[in-house]
Structure 1
Amino acid sequence: MFGKSCSLIAALIAAISIGSSAAASGLMGDTALDAALAAGGPSGEGGPNTGGSGFHLTLLHINDHHSHIEANSGELVLGGDDSVTVDVETGGFPRVVAEIEALRSRNANVLTLHAGDAVTGTIYYSLFKGEADASVMNQVCFDAFELGNHEFDDSDAGLAQFLGYLNADPGSCQTPVLGANVVPALGTPLHPDAATELVRPYVVKEVGGESVGIIGLDIAHKTKVSSSPLDSTQFLDETETAQRYIDRLTAMGVDKIVLLTHYQYENDLAMAAKLRGVDAIVGGDSHTLLGERFADFGLNPAGPYPTRVRDLDGNLVCVVQAWQYSDVVGELHLNFDEAGHVSGCSGTPHLLLGDTFERDDAALEGADLQAVLDLIAATPELDIVEPDAATQSIVDYYAQDVEVLKTSLVGRATENLCLERIPGQGRSSICDARMTQANGGDIQQLVAYAYLERSFEADVAIQNGGGVRIDIPAGDISINDVFTLLPFANTLANLRMTGAEIRQVLEEAVSAFQDVEDGSTGAYPYAANLRWDLDLSQPFGSRFSNIEIRRKGATEWSALADTDQVTVVTNDYLAAGGDGYATFETVSEDGRMVDTYIDYAQGFIDYLQQDLGGAAAGDPILAAPPQVMPVACSDYSTQTFIDAEGQLQLPDPAYPRVCE
């Protein structure tokens, strides 16, 4: 087991101050609120108070922090020349806590919200299974937390364990966990008995004498097909569920209603137009950066913060999201009229920055530094934030153990798994180039098959050879080895493509180094459930032949037709057109890409442990590391290879292939 015991972390937390919740009382779900209202309970005990006019509410929110509790590194344009960038530390949960506390102190009537996907994505989840995330989240003590799809990556039992960490101390922080359209079966980890439900549809908060209802929604289809919930856990339609609970709260007299969603920005906008009675939507899942000013700093905002839309009755609905990875804290201000409708909204997405700025690996000084500081001081969206000391102590506590625990073994290679890009190129440090001259790298091939299994939806996988960085020698494979093998902050993305588009993107990948001076051979493609013959001596468009596909779950190969409809999993770097994969970018821009936000290194660990080792989602790391073998020679993506000089590269009997 790699999570610390509750007693150890409790001892640490006892020595430091826990961030208190907003001054608001709350009742979760149906039973408690319904009972209080039926009894005519006073508003301070959960009954609604809808009187007054000009009520102002502030919502502070984050989403999709994905176990990024340490600070990130960022690159921003902070000057007049958009070609000159500055490197700066961004985010990290200690800065999130500090920023939220600062904003709390400057505003009245504050609620703090987390819109889901708190976990998975870094080694902190791989090792501590949500305990580290819960510990830092409790420094904020969110007024509500909505489940995201990745909360189900270790199934319902893994989620229940995380929620146990989150609400471990009844005398301290208790965070309402929401999911109105998530319906666990009785007797399962999230609903173990009739009296215990870990997930509730809504919470009502009493703030400044007003009742504010918060309804949670998770993205249903994506959670079912891309994560690992129990088959018995139901995921209901998001819009229908939202309206049902809006109507329920409205009937109770609650007229200020916020949807806390993990449903994607564009979906939130579309849903708002189909509803009646919602005032604001605080969202997640699409990792959307809002705030048009961010374009000035080299970032890519998707719209204004807040985004204003109208519901079915023409009433204003304010929609927000706060990017990703603990980098941004959203500050949304809502003004309500006497009828409980939003009369106006405004706000600021705060990008959290460190206080050291570098250019070309040298710290800025003098006039250059002052120019950056002056720009930040004049820009509400940019905040230099000193990390909260207490939260930093928690992060440091876990970080110490990361160095020890990442030596944990997750697999055992039966043979050397050779690194290669172009077949026979000689990139391996442990294998003779003649071992890879016919089919290419063994470890790249294995990684492609791991992607295929962890995507859940894809028919085939395509990976660039340069995205895999080291050989894996025969013997033990540690967590540290995996993060060295796959060191980039990449996620798995599913693209819906035609056979013709697949053929085109393969040609583009090879052209990126074959037809471009100083092009990167890291673009060389590797695939799972897709294989081909390749002739580098031919011109663009004629290099790939005999392309065959084996649909996921099938045993037979068949010719890839141009009209075939295929789901392809790749990494998000390639999905954005990296390494010359231009057709991937076109497909993404056409709206046919879904980022799963499954970290590719974590996905490889899960492949070793679950797909090869038989562990269930949420199980501790297996005591006996599973055997890791190369894929069958017939499953390698490059079946025959002719080099640029027109020479067919056959296996060398004196240097047998690893797959033989």
Structure 2
Amino acid sequence: MSKWSNKKVFIASTVATAAVAITMVPNVSASTNGFSDVSSTYSDAVDFLVKNGITYGTTATSFGTTDYMKRADAAVLIARSVGLKDDVTYKDAGFKDVPERAQWAVNALVEKKILSGFNATEFGADEKLTRNQIAKIIANAGQLEIDEKSKTTQFKDVNANFAPFVEALVNAKVTKGKTKDTFGSYDYVTRGEMALFINRAQTQFGFMELLVMHLNDTHAYLDKFPYIATAVKQLRSENENNLLLHAGDVFSGDLYFNEFKGQAGLALMNELKFDAVTFGNHEFDLGSTADGHKALADFVKGAKFPLLTANVDFSSDPLFDGIQTKEVTASYKNGHIYNGTVLNVNGQKVGVFGLTTEETPTISSTGAIKFTNYIEQAKKSVKAFEDMGVDKIIALTHIGYDDSLKFDNDLELAKQVEGIDIIVGGHTHSNLKEPIIKLNHEAPTVIVQANEYGKALGTLDVTFNQYGYITSYKGELINTDHTASKPTELKADKEMVDLLAPYAAKILKVKTQSIGKEALNALDGRRQSDNDGISSVRYNETNLGNLMTDAMLAKAKQVQPKTSIALQNGGGIRASIPAGDITVGNVLKAMPFGNALAIVEISGADLKATLEHGLSADVREGGGLKENGAFLHVAGMKYTYDSTKEKGKRLQSVKVKKDDKYVDLVDTDMYFVTTANFTAKGGDGFEKFAEAYADGRVSEPGFVDYENFIEYVKTLETVEPQVEGRIVDVALSKDGK
């Protein structure tokens, strides 16, 4: 990090430089600047100074490579190099010989105790700078490790006064000296040599190249981790400065979670050596079980990495006693929850804080755990980092890239909170093949997200300048999916394969156990990201949604014969079931949460309000609704809606099946409706269900969804459900879509 800068205020010229660089304009070079006096020895160093606005040469055609550095001019270059600013007022150092152009720099460097003058009134502004003097200045400016007790070095011409500083530069590989035995202590420094010194000390001055590797929404799809491991190991070998982050939803999805409740995933994540992980909403799915959040607490305690979330408070759940500290810390321990932490990346400090969607209490089973406003907590976290002098800040979020603003999303976070350099996101399963750049503030913010289920490892390469700006970037998603139509070319990492093997062996038995029935066509549980937006269980009727609700209705009628309607939220359908032999594994992937059956007694009017809530998503570009986990699949009912209408007024007609006919739903009549206990208690924001639950109008016979489904499918002569017009968007049907 830049030790001396404060990210809250910027120099205008630096802003312009950053704005140009972030658009990926080719790097400035000495040759393109027309400097005729820059040899290959100095070209890279001069390029670096010019590109970062530290100096632009003595004339349009000359850098002044062989000109000697005066102390005043050196002060300006060093001050700019470490991120000090000429529009900030510093304490007057009292020198009478400093020209106006350099006063701010000299005052700043004296205030920061980077250099001093010859005496109380004389700085020696026009004196030439010696190599001894520049060694001391750079050692102080870069806050190098200085051994004050050192009195000698390998160089014979370095006296005891300068030995600690020269030794610090040698140890930091900023210089090797002029020869093996001589440093050239009393030789004057040229502008070319000054460029070399600054370029070699750029890391110590806060310049940084960083690779961020990231995953999100892996949902226990662990079979892809051996391929992820291969990519991670290769990238780490090629990039000294790197981080590996996970943006949440480690739990719930594939069979590995059903069987091992997060411990299999934890073993693999520990092996991969994640640097930080945040919580997704699905980490809280087990909250309503007999064990509550024990599996999550065990996951945290066993983690060999810190867990981060600034807007979640675990203090009311005794399972988390002693493992959460509600602060941003520079000293963290693994297996503990923090708002954020400072990660040391080869001597550079990078701040990372976490956020979890405020929607979690309505879409998961949070119990006593509390969630607070993400914008407010993000601002507090950024300020905490900046107060600590950290100017490279990453938000690790599970709030969604472009999710509904009723709760939160990354685009709004970038807009509302200044000081975040990178947002590594999750929750919306967004397949951001390239980074998204937002210029809402003086410094840019880069947003990334890496699809879902471990199908890709996200990579983001960024360059930070001395002010903590990202000045260049590139990013891509590396294919890690060996099951894709175009499978990954990566080979599986043997160590990860061996670690996964005992877990995989147990899962294989479940995956391959047939239920004794064959699907004549694929049972569609796809999301928009799976099929280029053609279909999604979160905004249209699918044959799997119909089959699931048929199974629910059949089971509920055994308990309460008056039950006439079944509702299934699209967010509870997690995968398709392929055509062919149906296995227990297929079914568990499609409905992994183990939701129990509930029966709600509700009025026709409240049922309409419930359906309307399921249609409350924003509108997609090109027509129709955006994905929404509350979108309701139905049995025993048909409904139409108009996606072009405003929210709350979209539902057009509702008919309920009576005998063999569909008749209009009556507002004043009472109906028995079956749904998952999650939605029956108000999950996904279903307020009318929550009211019924509070009124005692919900019964919970307790039959688990996937067991009900298997039982029902076994009774069918053929498994060939169809999309049959149970749900129709009249706006799209008018267009013939």
TM-score w.r.t. structure 2 length?
Answer: 0.46
Structure 1 match to 2:298:
164
Q: Which of 315, 332, 343 is matched with 1:205 structurally?
A: 343
* C-alpha contact 1:178 1:200 (8 A) present in aligned 2: yes
Q: How does 1:518-529 map to 2 (within 5 A)?
A: 526-527=635-636
* Separation in structure 2 between the aligned mates of residue 334 and residue 403 of structure 1, nearest angstrom: 41
SS of 2:505 mapped into structure 1: helix
Structure 1 residue identity aligned to 2:456: V
Structure 1 residue identity aligned to 2:321: H
* Separation in structure 2 between the aligned mates of residue 104 and residue 467 of structure 1, nearest angstrom: 35
* Separation in structure 1 between the aligned mates of residue 468 and residue 569 of structure 2, nearest angstrom: 52
Q: CA deviation at 1:335?
A: 1.1
> Does the C-alpha gap of structure 1 residues 98 and 547 become closer, same or farther in structure 2, counting only changes over 3 Å?
farther
* Separation in structure 2 between the aligned mates of residue 398 and residue 146 of structure 1, nearest angstrom: 24
Q: CA deviation at 1:55?
A: 1.1
Q: Which of 185, 189, 205 is matched with 1:52 structurally?
A: 205
> Does the C-alpha gap of structure 1 residues 309 and 183 become closer, same or farther in structure 2, counting only changes over 3 Å?
same
Could you give the per-residue CA deviations for residues 618-652 of structure 1, whole angstroms, max 9, x where no partner exists?
xxx9xxx999999xxxxxxxxxxxxxxxxxxxxxx
SS of 2:321 mapped into structure 1: coil
* Separation in structure 2 between the aligned mates of residue 114 and residue 526 of structure 1, nearest angstrom: 38
Structure 2 residue identity aligned to 1:66: H
SS of 1:319 mapped into structure 2: strand
Larger radius of gyration: 2
* C-alpha contact 1:178 1:201 (8 A) present in aligned 2: yes
Q: How does 1:216-295 map to 2 (within 5 A)?
A: 216-221=354-359, 223-230=360-367, 232-266=368-402, 267-291=409-433
> Does the C-alpha gap of structure 1 residues 198 and 154 become closer, same or farther in structure 2, counting only changes over 3 Å?
farther
Structure 2 match to 1:340:
468
> Does the C-alpha gap of structure 1 residues 525 and 107 become closer, same or farther in structure 2, counting only changes over 3 Å?
same
Structure 1 match to 2:314:
184
Structure 1 match to 2:499:
394
Q: CA deviation at 1:345?
A: 1.7
* C-alpha contact 1:220 1:237 (8 A) present in aligned 2: yes
* C-alpha contact 2:284 2:296 (8 A) present in aligned 1: no
* C-alpha contact 2:216 2:249 (8 A) present in aligned 1: yes
> Does the C-alpha gap of structure 1 residues 122 and 235 become closer, same or farther in structure 2, counting only changes over 3 Å?
same
Q: CA deviation at 1:395?
A: 2.2
Structure 1 match to 2:656:
532
Q: Which of 568, 582, 587 is matched with 1:461 structurally?
A: 568
Could you give the per-residue CA deviations for residues 391-440 of structure 1, whole angstroms, max 9, x where no partner exists?
112222112122456799x9xxxxx99x999xxxxxxxxxxxxxxxxxxx
Q: CA deviation at 1:442?
A: 9.6
Structure 1 residue identity aligned to 2:436: T
Structure 2 residue identity aligned to 1:131: Q
* Separation in structure 1 between the aligned mates of residue 215 and residue 612 of structure 2, nearest angstrom: 37
Q: CA deviation at 1:275?
A: 0.8
Please tell me whether residue 150 in structure 1 is matched to residue 282 in structure 2. Answer: yes
> Does the C-alpha gap of structure 1 residues 106 and 445 become closer, same or farther in structure 2, counting only changes over 3 Å?
same
* C-alpha contact 1:445 1:528 (8 A) present in aligned 2: no
Q: How does 1:233-632 map to 2 (within 5 A)?
A: 233-266=369-402, 267-291=409-433, 305-311=434-440, 313-354=441-482, 384-404=489-509, 445-447=550-552, 460-461=567-568, 482-483=584-585, 498=612, 526-527=635-636, 532-533=656-657, 545-548=662-665, 556=671, 612-613=701-702
* C-alpha contact 1:68 1:325 (8 A) present in aligned 2: yes
* Separation in structure 2 between the aligned mates of residue 443 and residue 276 of structure 1, nearest angstrom: 46
* Separation in structure 2 between the aligned mates of residue 288 and residue 184 of structure 1, nearest angstrom: 28
Percent identical: 25
Structure 2 residue identity aligned to 1:211: K
Structure 1 match to 2:24:
none
SS of 1:326 mapped into structure 2: coil
Q: Which of 256, 265, 285 is matched with 1:133 structurally?
A: 265
* Separation in structure 2 between the aligned mates of residue 252 and residue 501 of structure 1, nearest angstrom: 46
Q: CA deviation at 1:338?
A: 1.0
Larger strand fraction of residues: 1
Q: CA deviation at 1:547?
A: 3.7
Q: CA deviation at 1:204?
A: 0.7
* C-alpha contact 1:201 1:215 (8 A) present in aligned 2: yes
* C-alpha contact 2:212 2:245 (8 A) present in aligned 1: yes
SS of 1:225 mapped into structure 2: helix
* Separation in structure 1 between the aligned mates of residue 472 and residue 385 of structure 2, nearest angstrom: 22
Could you give the per-residue CA deviations for residues 579-629 of structure 1, whole angstroms, max 9, x where no partner exists?
xxxxxxxxxxxxxxx999xxxxxxxxxxxxx954499xxxxx9xxx99999
Q: CA deviation at 1:555?
A: 5.2
Structure 1 match to 2:25:
none
> Does the C-alpha gap of structure 1 residues 61 and 193 become closer, same or farther in structure 2, counting only changes over 3 Å?
closer
* Separation in structure 1 between the aligned mates of residue 547 and residue 428 of structure 2, nearest angstrom: 34
> Does the C-alpha gap of structure 1 residues 468 and 406 become closer, same or farther in structure 2, counting only changes over 3 Å?
closer
* Separation in structure 1 between the aligned mates of residue 212 and residue 218 of structure 2, nearest angstrom: 17
Could you give the per-residue CA deviations for residues 370-400 of structure 1, whole angstroms, max 9, x where no partner exists?
xx9xxxxxxxxx9511111111122221121
Cα root mean square deviation, aligned: 5.4
Structure 2 residue identity aligned to 1:60: M
Q: CA deviation at 1:202?
A: 0.7
* Separation in structure 1 between the aligned mates of residue 703 and residue 634 of structure 2, nearest angstrom: 29
> Does the C-alpha gap of structure 1 residues 383 and 243 become closer, same or farther in structure 2, counting only changes over 3 Å?
same
> Does the C-alpha gap of structure 1 residues 308 and 448 become closer, same or farther in structure 2, counting only changes over 3 Å?
farther
* C-alpha contact 2:363 2:685 (8 A) present in aligned 1: no
* C-alpha contact 1:255 1:340 (8 A) present in aligned 2: yes
* C-alpha contact 1:64 1:287 (8 A) present in aligned 2: yes
TM-score w.r.t. structure 1 length?
Answer: 0.51
Structure 2 residue identity aligned to 1:54: F
SS of 2:416 mapped into structure 1: coil
SS of 1:348 mapped into structure 2: strand
SS of 1:284 mapped into structure 2: coil
* Separation in structure 1 between the aligned mates of residue 662 and residue 634 of structure 2, nearest angstrom: 14
> Does the C-alpha gap of structure 1 residues 420 and 496 become closer, same or farther in structure 2, counting only changes over 3 Å?
farther
Could you give the per-residue CA deviations for residues 27-51 of structure 1, whole angstroms, max 9, x where no partner exists?
xxxxxxxxxxxxxxx999xxxx995
Contiguous gaps of at least 5 residues in structure 2: 1-142, 146-201, 327-334, 403-408, 522-545, 557-564, 595-608, 617-632, 639-653, 687-698, 713-737
* C-alpha contact 1:448 1:462 (8 A) present in aligned 2: no
Structure 2 match to 1:19:
none
Q: CA deviation at 1:252?
A: 1.2
Q: CA deviation at 1:496?
A: 8.4
Q: Which has the higher contact order (CA 8 A, sep 6+)?
A: 1
* Separation in structure 1 between the aligned mates of residue 491 and residue 324 of structure 2, nearest angstrom: 45
* C-alpha contact 1:533 1:545 (8 A) present in aligned 2: yes
Structure 1 residue identity aligned to 2:258: S
* Separation in structure 1 between the aligned mates of residue 590 and residue 314 of structure 2, nearest angstrom: 35
SS of 1:118 mapped into structure 2: coil
Q: Which of 112, 119, 138 is matched with 2:251 structurally?
A: 119
* C-alpha contact 1:448 1:528 (8 A) present in aligned 2: no
Structure 2 match to 1:635:
none
Contiguous gaps of at least 5 residues in structure 1: 1-41, 71-91, 292-304, 359-371, 373-381, 411-415, 422-440, 452-457, 471-479, 503-523, 537-543, 559-565, 571-593, 597-609, 616-620, 631-660
* C-alpha contact 2:255 2:592 (8 A) present in aligned 1: no
> Does the C-alpha gap of structure 1 residues 442 and 306 become closer, same or farther in structure 2, counting only changes over 3 Å?
closer
* C-alpha contact 1:43 1:209 (8 A) present in aligned 2: no
Q: CA deviation at 1:191?
A: 2.8
* C-alpha contact 2:212 2:461 (8 A) present in aligned 1: yes
